[in-house]
Amino acid sequence: MTRSHPMRTDARGNRGLTGGGLVGLIAGATVLLVLFMIWMGAVEPSEEISSNDTHKVSRGDFLISIPASGELSANNLVEIRNPLETRGMIMEIVDEGKTVRKGDLLVRFNEDSLEEKIKDVDDRLVDAQNRLITSEQDLAIAQSTMESDLEKADLGIDIAQLALKAWTEGDNIKSVKTFEIALETAKINSDRLTKRFTEAKELVDNGFISNDEYERDRIAMIEAAAKVEQTQLDLNVYKQYTSKQEEKTKISDVDQATAERARVKQRHEAALVTQNADVESARKRLANIRIELEELKEQLDLCSILAPTDGLVVYKTSLSSGRRGSDDNPPTVGTDVSPNELIILLPDTSQMIAEVKVSEALSGRIKPGQPAIVYSETYPNMPIEGSVQSVSVLAESGGWRDPNRRDYTVRIVLDVKDGMNLKPSMRCRSEIQLGRVEDAISVPIQSVFRSGPLAFVYIPEGGGWGQRAVGLGRASELAVEVTTGIEVGDTVLLREPTPSEITSRLAMDKPAGGPPADMKSGRPGGAPAGSGMPSGGGAPKQGGWSGSASSGGKGRQSASQGTGSAPGRPSGSQQGS
C-alpha cells in the first residue's frame, strides 16, 4: 500500500511540506553547503573566529608612545651602616621587608662593653678633676709666694734708695760740714796759738814767764798748725775718696736690691711656668677624658639605630644574594658587624623611580617632562602615572651578548599612591608618551601586514578574509593611523589568517589603496621620523607586525597576543575601537 506524504496548505491555500519535512530539507542543504565550502577551502572545520581576533574600525584618538622595560628603584636610598668605632654585636634587628616609619628601631647593638668603658672613664674623670684642683692650688700658692717675695724685694729697693737719698742729702753734707768746721776750728786755734807764742817770746824776754812755759806755747802752736794740716787732709780725703766710695756703695745697694727683685721674679716665674703647665696639662687631660666620655655616650646612643626616614627594610645581603660564590648570611641576633659595615638599605618607597632602557635610536626623542605610564610585573593591571625626569648622558653597552647594542637609561618619576606596595628592583614596563593622534581612523598595529612596500589588512570577504591595501600615517607601538583603504565600521583581522581562510589576495606588483612609496624606514606607510613610529622598530611583514623595538621590551606577535592592548588596559581603549 502506498502512503502519500502529508501536505499542508498555508493561509493562501498553497500546499507545502510538513514541519518535519521542512526541517530535514534545511538540514540536508546545510550539510551540503558546509561540505562544498570545505571542498572549496574557504572554511576549515577546526577554525573558529573569536571576537578577540577581530577589531571594528572606528575614529578616535590614540597615544604615540615608546615602550621600554627596566626596574623600579627608590628616588631616595638611605644606607644604614654600623656607626660604632668598634665591632658591634647585633642584639635586635627589624625584619627584612618591613615598612618602617621615621624614628622606628632598626638595629640595636650590645651595650655591655660600652657601659664598662664608660664606668672606667668616669673613674678617670674624677681623678683628673682632683689632679686639676691640686695643680690649681699649687699654682695659687706659687703666685702668692711670688707676690710676697717681690714685695720684700721692692722693700729692699726702697730701703736702698732711701739710704742713698739720706746719704746724698744728709750724711754726706753733714760729714763735709764736720770736716770743714774742724778745719776752721783748727785754723782759728792755730792762729790763736801762733799769736800767743809770739807774745810769749816778749814775756820770756821780759821775765814774765818761764822758758818752760814758752816752750809749751811753742809746742801748742806747732800742734795747732799740724791739726790744721790734718783736718785739711781729712776734708780732702773725704771729698775725693770717702764720699765717692760711700756714694757708690749706696748706689750699689740700690742696684743689688733691684737685681735681687729681678732674680726673685725670674725664679718665681720659672716656677709658675711649670705650675701653669701642670694646670694646663691637667685641664687638657680632663677635657680629653670628658670628650672621650661624651663620645662613648654618643656611641652608646648609637647602639640603637633609628630609621632616619620612612622606607622599606632591605638587608645588604639581598644585594649580593645573586652573586656567584657569595656566602653572606642575613644579619641576625648575634651577628658581629665591623665599623661602617653596611647592614640595611632603606629605600623610600613613597618616591619611586622607574629606570628603563631605550635604544640609542629612540633616546633623542625622549625629553624631561614627557608623561609616561608604568606597569610593574608584580601588578601588571595597575597603571602608574609618571613623567620623565632625565635621560642618561652616556649609553651602556649590551655587553658580550650584544656588543653592538647601545641603551640609554631613562628615569621616570612615579606618582606613587598609598597601597601600591611598590618595591625596588621590581621589573617594570613603561610607555613613554611622545604625543597624541586626535580624531583619526586607526587600527591595532598587529592588524597591519606587509609584503615588500605594500601594507595591507584582512577584511571579511566571501566567507573568509581578503587582503585590502591601506595607506598608513602616524603610528605608536600599539596603533597606527590609516589614511586610505578602510572606513569607520569596517572589521579587520588581528592575526594572520591561515591559507585556507584567505579568499582574495592583492596583486603585489600593483599596489592599491594609495600607500605611500617611502617604506624604507620600516614605518607603516612611510611614517616620517617623529611621527611616533620608533626608528628601527621593525616594519610590518607577512604574518604580522614585528616585536617592540625598545631594548628589553617584549615583542607583540600579531596572531598570538590577542588585541595587543597594553597591560591593564581594556582592548582597543586607545585605538579608537
Instruction: Render pLDDT for 448-471 as a digit per residue (tens, 0 to 9).
Output: 999 888 999 999 998 899 999 999
* pLDDT, mean of residues 481-486: 93
pLDDT of residue 283: 93
The number of beta carbons lying within 10 Å of the beta carbon of residue 430 is 28
pTM above 0.85, yes or no: no
Give 51's DSSP letter: G
With pLDDT > 70 as the criterion, what percentage of the chain qualifies?
78
Quote the Cα angle for 522-528-532, to 5°: 85
> Among residues 56, 50, 38, 32, which one has the least CA distance to residue 463?
38
127's CB contacts (< 8 A; 6+ apart) are none
DSSP 45: T
Pairing relation of β-strands 99-100 and 396-398? Answer: unpaired
pLDDT of residue 193: 87
pLDDT at 537: 35
Residue-wise pLDDT tens digits, 487-526: 999 999 999 999 999 999 988 754 444 444 333 333 343 3
Three-class SS string for 230-294?
Answer: HHHHHHHHHHHHHHHHHHHHHHHHHHHHHHHHHHHHHHHHHHHHHHHHHHHHHHHHHHHHHHHHH
| CA separation for the pair 228, 222 (Å, rounded) | 10
Contact 172, 249 (CB under 8 A): no
CA dist., res. 191 & res. 203, Å (int): 18
Residue bearing cell 780732702: 236
Q: What are phi and psi of 11, to 5 degrees?
A: -65, -25
208 three-class SS: coil
Tell me the helix, strand and coil percentages in the chain, rounded to 5: 40, 25, 35
Cβ atoms of 85 and 337 within 8 Å: the answer is no
Close Cβ partners of 342 (under 8 Å, ≥ 6 residues apart): 79, 80, 81, 316
CB contact at 8 A, 414 and 374 = yes
Fold classification of 114-302 (topology level): Helix Hairpins (1.10.287)
Mean pLDDT calculated for residue range 430-438:
88
Fold of the domain spanning 78-109+307-347 = OB fold (Dihydrolipoamide Acetyltransferase, E2P) (2.40.50)
- Computed from CA positions of residues 144, 145, 148, 154, in that sequence, does the dihedral angle turn out positive or negative? negative
Q: What is the architecture, at CATH level 2, of domain 51-72+351-526?
A: Beta Barrel (2.40)
Whole-number pLDDT of residue 290: 94
Residue 327: pLDDT band (50, 70, 90) is: low
Domain residue spans of the chain:
51-72+351-526, 78-109+307-347, 114-302
Question: For the segment 35-51, what is each residue's pLDDT rounded down to a tens digit?
Answer: 455 444 444 433 456 77
The predicted-structure confidence for 531-564, as pLDDT tens digits, reads as follows 344 333 333 333 333 333 333 333 333 333 333 3
pLDDT tens digits, residue range 216-246? Answer: 888 998 998 999 999 999 989 988 999 889 8
